[in-house]
Structure 1
């Protein structure tokens, strides 16, 4: 933004004799009324822009737009209901049942094992819906013929997992398998395939597993029988070989060997304990040597040595000095890499490396001193370590020798046991146990073979059959879809209405944006066409709209007496906000009040005021700016007494350049010599800079605001642009206001004027 009058020439010093005291023009109000330094700069955004919308704003927006919300929402709700009806067709449910027996069946009808029936029931239900069973079902021809992927646009296994249901109760044996689908054939085929696949790969597979278990038991029985026969043969051999040996002598010898073996084992155990203790002592000795070395080179010891080391202290001083230079550079000239700064950083790195190297040297010196200290010195501790290692080695060799002797004693004992009658007794006892095991295994095997013929615990109970149609989802969709659609449409319309932040009343301009409201014109269709009636006078005599314009005129006349306001620009934030209508009616009202008034069409890019008076657009203000015509030749008379009109003329880029030159100011000075008031209909503020250039050469500006069209952020932005350039904003006129609000504004304006 340019400051006030930046780049524009000062007013002419040589005023014409006929003008007397200079009048305020070009936005340069008399210094007693406004100074250049008094340009307002708002610190915070106005309340209407800084605060977000609340629930009441949305409710008010919905109340304003209830007709469109009802029409659009009702239409979309009907379409949503129809879509839900056709997109959520009723589903056909197929059901099949399997029976899970409470007890394991037996061939002799005696009660079998029950186990945890609830856990078994839940396990079978999980098998029915498992991916393994579903994948097997998809391989069946009747399921392949359904082309599920084309029908559902889903992966077939995932589709079945989503739609397949399994129902059961803990105290009942029946498990229900249900499948819902819009096509009854799909439901029937999938339920039948799932039950068949479950029976094939789970139930019948369990029976095959029992058959394999029986076969395994047969194999184990054969091996046990063979081992029993081998032990019997061994016993027979021992009996035959022990016929010539005295059992008493054999028993004594065996006892001596067993006693020697026990003694050898005890000595080996004691020796192993001593070896472990010696190794632990060696580890403790080595750790002690290491701790002496580490304590000597600890961090406090090294730091203390560094403080007493002149080389280290010199390096630290050098680092501190260079770092001070670096900090000074970075504080005074941050971000600049001077050669001196880079050299100082290199010297710091070199000194730090030397200090680190010196620290390592001191650590090595301290370690060497520590190694020579301690009890007996390093040589004595090292000699003691070697002695301990030799002792451990000798004990380990003795341990190995005891092991070899123990092996020899065991071999001799084994030879004697071949003719040991006690060994024969133990062998007979083992044979008896083996025989009992073989008999029990044979009995169990026979029972398993018999129960295998009794059937399975799970059996089919009911083939897949169709149940009644499921229309709950369809009916729910038909009810919920319209309600959600209607609610969403209403919220969307309310949000769009609130998001636009349009001005709804004059109070939103004054209280919400902090802009003074100088007038409120009630809504009149085609108000601009009622400017001149058939008699040459306005045909809205006595109408509230004309009363509102006259009240605005009254305020302007009073302001003219107080601040010499004679050149007034009427503008708006954007196009289509009623600025031309306000400017034309205000100029006509001043003319009716006996003031010689000129209406100047300053909307050079999109002129339209000449059409209201049915006058020519050429020549006009553009030609006067370019010095192509005389000022008097561009002024045209209208059918209203006391009102003259200057059209916009032909606009081009040269006209825009001419707006910044001294000629504009001179034009206004000459016009003020001829007219009491000059009303300028300018280009919108936010659309181009024309209004800002003209606005710096007028006495005041009136902002035109159109209810339900103008947006608060844009109106506020336009006001800020004007005030930032030091242009005086007289206030805002709200077009299309509520009749009661317009009446109140008119009464207030008349009260203020008087």
Structure 2
């Protein structure tokens, strides 16, 4: 009977995840919401949005694009175009000479002129003509200048040509406007270049006159200086000044020597006789009068001892002393001879002292006389040196004045000659430039008219084709891009990694998507199933059985008898998963009951083609007993309790916890109770049921389930203390290669 089960929203069911992916460890916390804190474009998610919607987006884009193109073709008329063509020489026109005017790069000059054509001052000049400003095309514009600047186009059909173009609905107006703007450009820009050259010529001529006048003044000054120096030859001036410098140096050396000798003489004179030195002389050293310095006593004693008179008395005294010494042995102290000798010695000593004083006076007198003679000689030398110094000083002053005058004149001479040389060079350049401009100003303009605008007679159909094509492409891109962008913003699940990494939910199994014809085909003995149908159903069966094996290997399943199968939103395949999982558990030898608790949209009774009169709602209300509510199915060991008819009384009983007692009684008769509930987000029924079951499994469908909704459902379950034990994914491409293996393998098997 399991081959007849259908999805609650579409035509697909599930396949198994490989064991190494199924056995992922359970995460303890929910990851961040996938739509929060991520402003960068997720390329992989965007490509998946394209994969999901490319056909619809392309189809709708083509429909709307075709409509936009047709509407543009029908309602947008083909415009007329008028153009004025200019010719621009690649080099500046010249007759004979090259002037010193700046030569810009051709491309730079061309781009500049192309920009000036639509400049505001050119457009205003064109609009000053009443005939142009009163044209209907311009009168209907609130700001004609801005309109022209926006709509006039400047193109370059060839290297030395550029065009001024204007498109519109009035051919005659277009030609007149384009010609007016082009004429304004030639007048205001091109012709003004010639005017600017004439202004430059007049300016050069004025500078030339000023330079000639200043040059004449400089030459007059040069002649006056040359007459004062008697020459203008720089070599002669240099030799003359060199000789004067040498003579001046010799005088300076002699003057320095005289000053040094005069200073020494004054110092000697002041030291020997300060009173004589203070005679009022400006170069003498004035010191207060003082006693002459004393003669050293050693010198006086030496001169006295060398005097003959003093030597005779000294010798007489020594002889008397020797005589007394010889007779002292025979004569007593008071012997008359000895007394007479002592008296004679005393008189001689007195005479010696008197003589010594006389000799000392005589020596001092001689020294004083010699000193007076030396002072007179020094005074005479000082006077001579003073006279020589004054003479040299006067001569140096005269030479210095002469040197300063000639040096300034020579410097001025050299400076004037340099200035005159420079001004003559400048004057020559001005003269050459003026002569060249006088000729080249007559040269042909660089920009000339090549073709005036004429009234166009044929509209620009190519423009119409382009506008229609662009409108179609824009509509196609807008519609297709909008559909893909809206789908991208929904963040639908595309890969298993989005579940494990973003939501951190363990994956229990992955089930393939199968065609609806395969799902609904019935093997009733009258119409035998094809081998392909048998093979694909075998793949589905193996996928469900693999999920069952993962659940049974989980140690927690030993205490989990009541399992609720749900999803975040509707259309994600929860009912199909509940039916297939219940049937798989029954095939493994367990006694299983499937309870349809999706009271608002029950579908299990239609899958198994059962009567829904006696169901879960009737049991909740107490209208019918639990016994006899479970109906058998063709699958051995599997029973089904349909949903019944829902009303407010049933919902009230559910809110009061009536489901818990029902599940408790069912676990006494069955090994497993599989509960198919409503989606979590639309109604609160599932959150009420989840509090009375042992575990919750989320169904997530590829390209249908949205990451944000799945995360919200997970968070609600976590908030009531019932975290999901895992999830079953439907239709992931990364397992498609395994389905092919199963299909080829089961084509050779007859699986009932």
Shorter-chain TM-score bucket reads 0.3 to 0.5
Instruction: Report the structure number with the largest CA radius of gyration.
Output: 2
TM-score norm. by structure 1 comes to: 0.47
TM norm structure 2: 0.47
Q: Which has the higher contact order (CA 8 A, sep 6+)?
A: 2
